[in-house]
Structure 1
Amino acid sequence: MQLLILFLCVAVLLVAISGWKLHPFLALLAIGLLYGIACGLGPVRSVELLTEGFAGTLQWIAIIMVLGAMIGEISNDTGGASLIARSTLKLSGEKRLPYAMGITGYIISIPVFVDVAYIMMQSVTEALAAKSKQNILGVGLSLATGLTATHALMPPTPGPLAVAGILDGQLGRIILINFFVAFSAMAGGLAWAIFYCRKVELDADRIIRERYASKSKDTLSKGVSSDSKSQPHNQSIWIACLPIFAPLVLIAIGSFTPSESTNHWSTMARFLGSPLVALSIGVILATLQYGRDVSMSRLSSVTERAIEKTALVVMLTGAGGAFGHVIKNSGVTETISQYASEIESVGFLFPFLLASIITTTTGSITVSMITTASIVAPALTTLGISAEMAAALIGSGSFCVFHVNSSFFWLLNRLHDAPPTVLLKTYTVQSLCMGLGALAAVLLLKLCGLQ
C-alpha cells in the first residue's frame, strides 16, 4: 500500500507541475504533506518532517549555490567566459569548432546556470558561426551539450549538489565519477550536433552572416562583437579558469583525506576541501579577473545578482529535500525491501529510468534530479547501488528528453528564431543522445567493478 501511495503521489506531482502548471515548490511541499498523511504519519508529524527536511537540506547547500553563482557572475562581468571560448578555439582550430564549443560549455557551466551561460555566450556563438561559415544551430547546440552535461552532473551546480546532499554521497567521489560520465554525455550530444544539427539551416543564419560580414577580421577572430560589454580585462586564460577548477580540486582532495587522520596537513586538507571554504576561495580567485577595477560596490552588485538568481533553485532544493525526508520516515524502505527480489533485475537502472520519466514530463533537470533522489535515497541499500553511482544514474536520466516543456527549448526558439518542429528534431533528439551516452559510461564503470 505504501508503494502504491508513493507512485500515486509521484504521478499527481507530475500532473500538478506539467498539467496544472502548479509551481514545483508548492507541488513538492503539498504532495509531501499528503504523502505523509496518507502513510499514516498524521498531519502534525508530517509537517514536522517537512520542516526538518527543508532545514536539513539547506543548512549548507544554499550558501554554496550562491557562491557558485557569484563565480559565474564575475566571469560574465570580466569576459572570462569569452576568453575561455577563444582560447579553446585557438587550440582546436576552426574545423573542430563543435568540439571547442562543447569543451567551452563543459567548463563555464560548472559555476553558471545553463540559460544564463548560453545567453552570455550568444555573441561568441554567432560570431564563431559566421567566421567558420557553419550554421548557428550546429554551433549553438554544440555549446549547449557541454553546458547541459556539467549542469546535470558536476557539482557545484545546483542539481548535482542537491542530489549529493539528499543521497548523502561523498562529493569528491561524485565529482570524479561524474567527470567521466559528463564527458561521455557530451560526446553523445556532439555526435548528433555534428552529424545532423550542423546541416540544418535557419533564416537566422543568413541574418547572422550579413551582420558579421562588415565586422573586422580582428573582431571575428576574438568571437566577440565590438560593442560587447564583457571584454576581458587583459587577464590570462589561467586566471579565467582558476576560479572554476581550484574549488573542484580542493573538494576532491578534502573528500579523499582520511577522516580519522588528525595531523596538521589532513586537518588543513579537510578544511580547505569543505565545499563552503573551497567555493569561497573560488570567489576570491574570481575577483582577480577584475584587476584594478575591483571595488566593494561591484562585489555587492555581483552578490545581489547571485542571490536573486539562486533564490528559486534554493527554495526548490529545500522543498525536494523536505519531500524526501517524509519518504525516508514513512517506512517505505522496509516495504521496498520486501520486494527486493522482484526489483533486483532492474534495480541498477531504476534511478535512470525514473529521472528520465520525470524530465520528459516536467522539462526540468533540477526538479527531475531532486525528486528522483528523494525517492531513490531510502532504497539505495535494497537496490545495491552506492550513493555516488546513483547520483551518476540520476544525472544521466535527467537528460531524457527535453521538448516543449523545457525553458531552454524556448530560449533556443527565441534567440535563433528556430521553429519548434526543427528543435524537436535537433535539440530533443540531442538530449536523448546525451542521456544514452551518459548511461553507457555508467555501465562501463559498473563493468569495471565500480558499484
Structure 2
Amino acid sequence: MQLFILFSCVVLLLLSISRWNVHPFLALLAVGLLYGIGSGLGGLESVDLLMEGFAKTLQWIGVIMVLGAMIGEIANETGGAERIAKSTLKLAGEKRLPYAMGLTGYIISIPVFVDVAYIMMQTVTEALAAKSKQNILGVGLSLATGLTATHALMPPTPGPLAVAGILEGQLGRIILINFFVAFSAMAGGLAWAMFYCRRIELPYDRELRNQFASSNDNALAENDDRPKQTSGSTWLAMLPIFVPLVLIAISSFIGTDNAGPASITMKFLGTPLVALSIGVILALAQYGRNFRMSNISNVAERAIEKAALVIMITGAGGAFGHIIKNSGVTETISAYASDLGAFGFLFPFVLASIFTTTTGSITVSMITTASIVAPLMSSLGISPEMTAALIGSGSFCVFHVNSSFFWLLNRLHHAPPSVLLKTFTVQSLCMGLGGLAAVLVLRMCGLK
C-alpha cells in the first residue's frame, strides 16, 4: 500500500506540473503533504517533516547558490565568461565541445557537489553555447553527465565514500573500478546529449545568443564601467571558478584525524562557503581600475534575485524527498529484500534505481541501498567493490521532478519540465545503463 501511495503521488506530481501547469514550488509542497497524510504520518507530523526537509536543504545550499550566482554575474559584467568561452572553443573546437564539457564535469565534480559545480559553471556554459551557436541543453547536459558520473561513483564524493564504508570495500579498488564505470556512464549520457538533446532549441537559446552577440568588443568600448578584454586576462577570469574547486578538493582529502594548524586552516578554506567567498573576491579583481564599492551591492542584488526562485524550488524538492525518506517506504522495500534477492547480481542496481526514482537523491539512494545489501553480500556472490559499482550505476536511474538538479536546470535555463523529462530524465537512464554495461564487461573479464 505504501508503494502504491508513493507511485500515485509521483504520478500526480508529474501531471500537476507538466499538464496542469501548477507551479513546481506549490506542487512539490502540496503533493508532499498529501503523501505524508496518505502514508499515515498524520497532518501535523507531515508539516513538521516538510519544514525540516526544506530547512535542511537550504541550510547549506542557499548561501552557496547566491555566492555562485555572484561569480557568474561578475563574469558576465566584466566579459570574463566570454573570454573563457573563446579560449575553450579555440582549444576544443566546436565539434568536440560536448566532450570537453563532459570531461570538465568529470573532473570538477569529484570534490564538489553537483548543484554547486553546475551553478559555478553556468555562465561559462551559457557563453560557450552562445558562442558556438549550439543549444544550451546539448552543452549543459554534456557538463551534467560528467558532473553526475563522478558524483555517484568516485570517492571522496560523500555517496561513494559512504558506500565503501558500509560495504567494507577496499577504497583503492573501488576507485580503480569506478573510474572505468564512471567513464562508461558518462559516455552513455554524452551519447544522448549529442544525438538528441542538442537538437532541442529553447526560447532561452535565442536570448543567450542575443545577449552575447551584444557583448562584443564594440560594446565593451562603449561601456566605461566595464574592464577591457586583454589577451592575458583569460586566466584572471578562470581563477574565481577554479580556485574554490581546488580549495574544496584539497579539503576533501584531509582526514578528520589531522588536527594540525595547516590541516585545520585548509579544512576551513575548503568549506564551500569560504571557498566561494574567496572566489567572489577573486572575481572582483576583474573590474581592475573600474572597481567601485557599488559594484558589490549591484552584483549581490542581481545574484539574489536570480537565485531566489531556484533556492525556493530546490528547498521544496528537498522537503518532498525528506518526507518520503521518513515515511517508512524504505523499510517496506527492505522487507522484500530477500525475495528480490533472486535477481542476484543485478539486485543492487535494481534496488538503487528504485530508491533514486522515488527519492530523487543519489546520496540517499546509495546509502540506503548499501545498508540493505550489506547483510546479503554472501548470498549475492559478488565483491563489495563490484557491488559499489552496481549501486552507483543504479543511482542514476532515473531523475525526474523530485530531483533538485531537475529544477536547477528548469530555472537556470528556463527549460520546461516536459522538455527535461525527454532530455535530462532519459539521459539519466542512459547513464545508468552505460554504467551497468561497464560492470558487466568487468564481470566477463573475471572480476567479481
TM-score class, shorter-chain normalisation, is 0.5 to 0.7
CA contact (8 A) 1:185 1:436 kept: yes
CA distance in structure 2 between the aligned counterparts of 1:194 and 1:11, rounded to whole angstroms: 29
Q: Deviation at 1:14?
A: 1.8
CA distance in structure 1 between the aligned counterparts of 2:371 and 2:35, rounded to whole angstroms: 22
1:251-278 CA distances to partner (integer Å, 9 max, x unpaired)? 2222222113222122112211211111
CA distance in structure 2 between the aligned counterparts of 1:165 and 1:58, rounded to whole angstroms: 18
Q: Deviation at 1:196?
A: 9.0
1:256-313 CA distances to partner (integer Å, 9 max, x unpaired)? 2211322212211221121111111111122222222222222222212221121122
Q: Could you tell me which residue of structure 2 aligns to residue 44 of structure 1? A: 44
Q: Could you tell me which residue of structure 1 aligns to residue 142 of structure 2? A: 146
1:20-70 CA distances to partner (integer Å, 9 max, x unpaired)? 222221122112212222222221121112112211221121111111111
CA 1:305/1:152 → structure 2, altered by over 3 Å: closer, same or farther? farther
CA distance in structure 1 between the aligned counterparts of 2:93 and 2:186, rounded to whole angstroms: 19
Letter in 2 for 1:124: K
Q: Deviation at 1:327?
A: 2.4
2:243 to 242, 246, 259: 246
Of 227-236 and 176-185, the range deviating more from structure 2: 176-185
1:147-169 CA distances to partner (integer Å, 9 max, x unpaired)? 443575688xxx9xxxx899997
CA 1:56/1:398 → structure 2, altered by over 3 Å: closer, same or farther? closer
CA distance in structure 1 between the aligned counterparts of 2:388 and 2:299, rounded to whole angstroms: 34
Q: Deviation at 1:431?
A: 8.0
1:348 aligns with 2:349: yes
1:326 aligns with 2:323: yes
Of 323-332 and 240-249, the range deviating more from structure 2: 323-332
1:335 aligns with 2:332: yes
Q: Deviation at 1:350?
A: 4.6
1:71-123 CA distances to partner (integer Å, 9 max, x unpaired)? 12222222222222222333346775665676689889945488866654455
1:233 aligns with 2:229: yes
1:345-390 CA distances to partner (integer Å, 9 max, x unpaired)? 44424555776x79xxxxxxxxx945x7777775552256999986
CA contact (8 A) 2:75 2:123 kept: no
CA distance in structure 2 between the aligned counterparts of 1:2 and 1:281, rounded to whole angstroms: 47
CA 1:246/1:233 → structure 2, altered by over 3 Å: closer, same or farther? same
Q: Could you tell me which residue of structure 1 aligns to residue 285 of structure 2? A: 288
Q: Could you tell me which residue of structure 1 aligns to residue 132 of structure 2? A: 125
CA 1:143/1:45 → structure 2, altered by over 3 Å: closer, same or farther? closer
CA 1:292/1:84 → structure 2, altered by over 3 Å: closer, same or farther? same
2:434 to 440, 443, 449: 440
Q: Extract unaligned runs of 5+ from structure 2.
A: 110-115, 164-170, 202-212, 221-225, 375-383, 402-408
Secondary structure at 2:315 match in 1: helix
Q: TM-score, normalised by structure 1?
A: 0.66
Q: TM-score, normalised by structure 2?
A: 0.66
Secondary structure at 1:17 match in 2: helix
Letter in 2 for 1:4: F
CA contact (8 A) 1:324 1:375 kept: no
CA distance in structure 2 between the aligned counterparts of 1:407 and 1:144, rounded to whole angstroms: 12
1:73 aligns with 2:73: yes
1:194-205 equivalences under 5 Å are none
Of 430-439 and 341-350, the range deviating more from structure 2: 430-439
1:272 aligns with 2:272: no
Q: Deviation at 1:437?
A: 4.7
CA distance in structure 2 between the aligned counterparts of 1:152 and 1:378, rounded to whole angstroms: 18
1:299 aligns with 2:296: yes
Letter in 1 for 2:55: A
Secondary structure at 2:41 match in 1: coil
Secondary structure at 1:260 match in 2: coil
Identity %: 48
CA contact (8 A) 2:68 2:119 kept: yes
1:210-261 CA distances to partner (integer Å, 9 max, x unpaired)? xxxxxxxxxx9xx984545588632533222222222222222222221132
Secondary structure at 1:40 match in 2: coil
Letter in 2 for 1:143: V
CA distance in structure 1 between the aligned counterparts of 2:43 and 2:302, rounded to whole angstroms: 38
